[in-house]
Structure 1
C-alpha cells in the first residue's frame, strides 16, 4: 500500500470519528468531572488552611497577652524564644509546619508600650498538591498597654456586719488577690502604690500623728471615750489610740488640709475600739497584705469618713503626704466597699452623733461628687446590704458599680477590677 493511500485512509477514519455521535455523553461527563474534582479539592484544602489560620490567630492573641506582662524586661533573644514557646503551648495543630513567630516590642511614647506579633506556617495540601504542594498561612496580633502609674486607695468597711456571711474572710482573700495582680502589673517599683483605709464610724490614723497640730482640742471629751481613766483635754495624747471622727461641715466631705487658723478643718479625736490603723500609700506589698490580715469587724457604719480619708491618702500634703501631684501619666482610683446602710456619723460643730441615714447619705453623696470632680475614679462595691442607689451614683460610671449578692463573689469582682487597673487590652 502506497503512502498516499495510507494517508487517505487515515483522513477518512478521522472524518468518521468526528462525525460519530455514539458515546458523547460519557466522554463529556468524563471531561467535566476533571474541573469538578479539582474545585472540590481546592475547597477542602483551603477549608483546612482557614481552620488552621483561625487556631493560629487565637494562639497568637493569647501569646500577645501573656508575653506583654514581661516583654519590657526581656532581651531581644529572650523575647523571640518566649514568643515561640508561648505560641507553641497554645497552638495544637501538628499539620502546620515551618512555624515562625516574630515579636516586635516598641515604646512609641513615654508610658505607652506595644507588642506586635506575626506568625506564619505552612500546611501540606492533598487534592491540589500537583500544582500547589503547600499553603502558607499567617496571623497578626498587637497588645497595647499604658504604663501609667497608679495610686489606689482601698476604703474597706470594717463594721460589725462584715463578720456575717463570711464577708470579711472573702474580702481578705479578694483584696490579697487584687494586690497580687497589681504587683505583677507593676513593671517596676513605684509604678503602683496602694493605701488601705479600714473604717467604721471613725478612721484610725495611729498614734504616730499625735504631735501634729491637726486635732480639734475643743471637741475632746475624755468622758465620752476614756471615762474614769484620768484623761483630760491637756493630756489626751497619752490616752488617744489614733482614731478621728468627721470634721465640721463642709470639711467632712472635702480634702482641705488641716489649718490651725480654721478650726473647722481640724480633726476631732475619738476612741478606736478594735479598728486597725490605716496604711498610707506604699509599695510595700508585705505590709499591705499584713494590713488586710489585721482587719477585724466591729462597730457602726459611716461611708463618708472612709471615702474622705481614701481621698486624703491620694493627695499630697497633710494629713497624708505620700501621694504624688496629679499628672497625665498617673491614675488615682478609690475602691469603696461596704455592706450596710450609713448608721452613725459625727456633727462636730455641736459635738453630737448623727444617726439619721438620709442625713449621712447626703454627706456621702457630696464627698463622692467632690472626689470625682478632683479627677479621681471610684469603684463602688455593695456586699449584700447597703444603699444601692447611693453607691451606684458614687461610682464613676455604671460599669464601675458592683452589687455582690454572695460574699464568695468578691474574689471575681476584685479580679475584674484588678485587670481593669492593669490597663492591658488586646488592640488587634
Structure 2
C-alpha cells in the first residue's frame, strides 16, 4: 500500500540520518521533521478514521431500516435480530481501512407507553500510516479507534396517505392517465409499495381523491348533514357564488308565461331554457301544452358550468300592470315575434307602463311554508318575484319568497354526487363541518360541461367517487384503474378532500388514532395543468383564470394552512408531495402554487413526459417506505 511504502522510506531515511557523521545539520533536520510528519500524518489518519466511521454509520442506518422492515413483515423474529444484523452489515460496510469491526444489536420490546426499539452499535479501528512515527516504540499511536450507533423504532409508526389525482380532460393527452393508473395501481406501483409495509390491517391506509372542477362524493351521501344544498336547490337568480355573472329577473317577469320567449340567453344570464326539469333539450319558448306547460326551466349555466335543479312555474294571477316607470318595460314576445296575447304598453309623459296576463313564478323546490311535501329536504327561501306582481321604478328589487308546496321536480335524491369548494374562508381550511355554520359545510353541485354530467353514474366518462382511507388494496386499485379524463381543473377542491380524508371526525370517517402511536400523514397531489375554474365563475372560465390568479390565491392560502398544521409535539402534521406533469406544447409555466405547496423543495416534481410519472411515484414510495431514524 502507498502508506506502507512511504513509511518504509521515511524509516530508512531516519536510520541513515542517525548514522551520519558529516555534520550537525542532519541531526537537527532529523529531530525537526518528526513533529512535522506527525502533524501531517495525524490529519491523514484521522481523515481515514472519519471516513470509516461515516461508512459504518451509513451501514448501521440501512441495517436498522432493513431489520425494522423484516420485523414488520414477520420474516424474522426478535431472537434473529443479532445474526440478521451482522449479515446485513457485512454486506453494506465496504470500507477497506476499517479493522476489528464488531457490531451489537439490542431489541427492546414495546410497552403500553413506548414503542419497540432496535439499537445497533459498532466499533473498529484503523492502522495508522503516519501517526506511528510519533511513537516508535509501538504504543497508542499505531491505531485510531472509531465507533457509531443508531436507533430505530418499530411497531408504533403508522402511515396514512391521501392521493389527490387529476382526472381532468387534458389527462387524456400523451398517455398521462394510463401512466398514472400504472404508477399507482399497477404491479409494483405505489399501492403495492405501501401495502408491503403493512403487517397488520390498519398499519397503512390510503385514500383516493379523483378531482376535476369538483370531486364526486357519491350519490348515497345525499342524506348527510354536512352537505350545503343552498346553491343546488336555488334558481340561477339566487346564486351567492356567481358574483358579477349573477342572473337577474327581467322587469316583465310577471308577464312571462306559456308561449312567451325564454327571457334569458347565454349573454344575458349565462343560460337559456329547457323543455322540462330534467331535460337538456333547449326551448326558445315556454311550453304552452303538456305536463310542463308554463314551466320555465333554466339550462346549464354557461358561466359556472352547473345544471340547475328546478323550474319556475307560471301560475295565473289575473290581469294587471306588471311593470311601469322605465323605457325598458315591454311585453314578452311570442314565437311569431309579436307581443304575447293580451299584453300592451302605453307611454304617458315619458313613463311607460305595460299590462296583461299576470303569473306568479314559484321555484319547484320546497319553500319555507311546505309542511307536507319534501319533508326530507332543506327549504328554499329564494326570491321569485315582486310585490303585487309588478316592477316599478321605486320597487326594483324582488322580495317575494318562494312558496312551492308540491313535490320537488328535482329532489336531492337525484343529486349525482358532485361537491364544489366550500364557502370562503373555509375553502382554504381543514375545519370540520358544523351544522350551525353553513360556511363549514360542503356545497352540493351539479357539474355539467362538454354535454356531460360528470358525477353521474351513467356518465361516460365519469369522474370517479372519492375512496376514503382504506386498506382494501384491491378496491383501491379498482378505483384508480377506473379513472377517466373529465372536465376542468380545480386543484384546490382535490387538495381539500385529501385533507378531509385524513381528519378524524370528518365526513370521510378517518379511523381513530392512538395517542401512543406515531402517524405519518402524507398528501400527494398530481396535476397536469394550471387551475382554470372553481366554484366562483368570476375566477375562471374553464380555459384560463381571471387577472391576478384568484383560484391560485385561494389554493396558496389553503397550502399555507396545511403546512402550518402541527401535531401534539409541535411537528408538521402533514408531509405534502406535489407533482406537475407538464407535457403541453408550448409548455405550461411552472405552477408556483403547486411548487410552494410541497413541504420542501425536494418534494416538488416537474415532469415533462408521461413516463416520468411511474418513476416519480416509485421514488416517493421508496421515501415513504423508510422509517425515520431516532439518531
Q: Spell out the pairing of 1:52-201 with structure 2 (5 A cutoff).
A: 58=55, 61-71=58-68, 73=71, 74-91=76-93, 100-106=102-108, 110-111=114-115, 113-118=117-122, 120=124, 139-144=147-152, 147-176=156-185, 177-186=189-198, 188-201=200-213
Aligned counterparts of 1:253 and 1:102: Cα–Cα separation in 2? 50
Task: Report the counterpart of residue 388 of structure 2 in structure 1.
Answer: none
Give the conservation status (yes or no) of the 8 Å contact 1:67–1:82: no
Q: Please, which moves more after superposition, 330-339 or 367-376?
A: 367-376
Output one character per residue of 1:209-266: Cα deviation in whole Å (capped at 9) or x when no partner: 23334251514899798636x9865555665443223344444444441638838654
Aligned counterparts of 1:312 and 1:393: Cα–Cα separation in 2? 20
Cα distance change, pair 100–294 in 1 and its aligned pair in 2 (3 A) = same
Give the conservation status (yes or no) of the 8 Å contact 2:56–2:122: no
CA RMSD of aligned residues (A): 5.0
Task: Name which of 526, 535, 557 aligns with 1:366.
Answer: 557
Aligned counterparts of 2:511 and 2:464: Cα–Cα separation in 1? 21
| Structure-1-length-normalised TM-score | 0.71
Q: Does 1:242 align with 2:251?
A: no
Per-residue deviation, 1:426: 5.6
Aligned counterparts of 1:70 and 1:117: Cα–Cα separation in 2? 14
Aligned counterparts of 1:343 and 1:370: Cα–Cα separation in 2? 22
Aligned counterparts of 1:404 and 1:196: Cα–Cα separation in 2? 21
Task: Report the counterpart of residue 313 of structure 2 in structure 1.
Answer: none
| Aligned-partner SS, 2:535 | strand
Q: Spell out the pairing of 1:267-278 with structure 2 (5 A cutoff).
A: 267-270=444-447, 271=453, 272=455, 273-278=461-466
Task: Name which of 257, 267, 270 aligns with 2:433.
Answer: 257
Aligned counterparts of 1:353 and 1:67: Cα–Cα separation in 2? 51
Output one character per residue of 1:343-392: Cα deviation in whole Å (capped at 9) or x when no partner: 222249x9x98545143223322332333344443332222146522223
Structure 1 residues without counterparts, runs of 5 or longer? 1-22
Cα distance change, pair 316–426 in 1 and its aligned pair in 2 (3 A) = closer
Aligned counterparts of 1:261 and 1:24: Cα–Cα separation in 2? 102
Aligned counterparts of 2:623 and 2:180: Cα–Cα separation in 1? 19
Task: Report the counterpart of residue 280 of structure 2 in structure 1.
Answer: 227
Per-residue deviation, 1:275: 1.3
Structure showing the higher helix proportion among its residues: 1
Per-residue deviation, 1:103: 1.4
| Aligned-partner SS, 1:210 | helix
Give the conservation status (yes or no) of the 8 Å contact 1:175–1:414: yes
Cα distance change, pair 119–225 in 1 and its aligned pair in 2 (3 A) = farther
Task: Report the counterpart of residue 4 of structure 1 in structure 2.
Answer: none
Cα distance change, pair 326–416 in 1 and its aligned pair in 2 (3 A) = farther
Aligned counterparts of 2:53 and 2:600: Cα–Cα separation in 1? 37
| Structure-2-length-normalised TM-score | 0.51
Per-residue deviation, 1:203: 0.8
Cα distance change, pair 261–49 in 1 and its aligned pair in 2 (3 A) = closer
Per-residue deviation, 1:411: 3.9
Aligned counterparts of 2:482 and 2:56: Cα–Cα separation in 1? 43
Per-residue deviation, 1:406: 3.3
Aligned counterparts of 1:226 and 1:70: Cα–Cα separation in 2? 63
Output one character per residue of 1:44-73: Cα deviation in whole Å (capped at 9) or x when no partner: 9xx999979956863663354144343483
Aligned length: 402
Give the conservation status (yes or no) of the 8 Å contact 2:52–2:97: no
Cα distance change, pair 317–100 in 1 and its aligned pair in 2 (3 A) = closer
Structure 2 residues without counterparts, runs of 5 or longer? 1-19, 237-273, 282-290, 292-308, 311-407, 448-452, 456-460, 567-572, 583-587
Task: Report the counterpart of residue 595 of structure 2 in structure 1.
Answer: 392
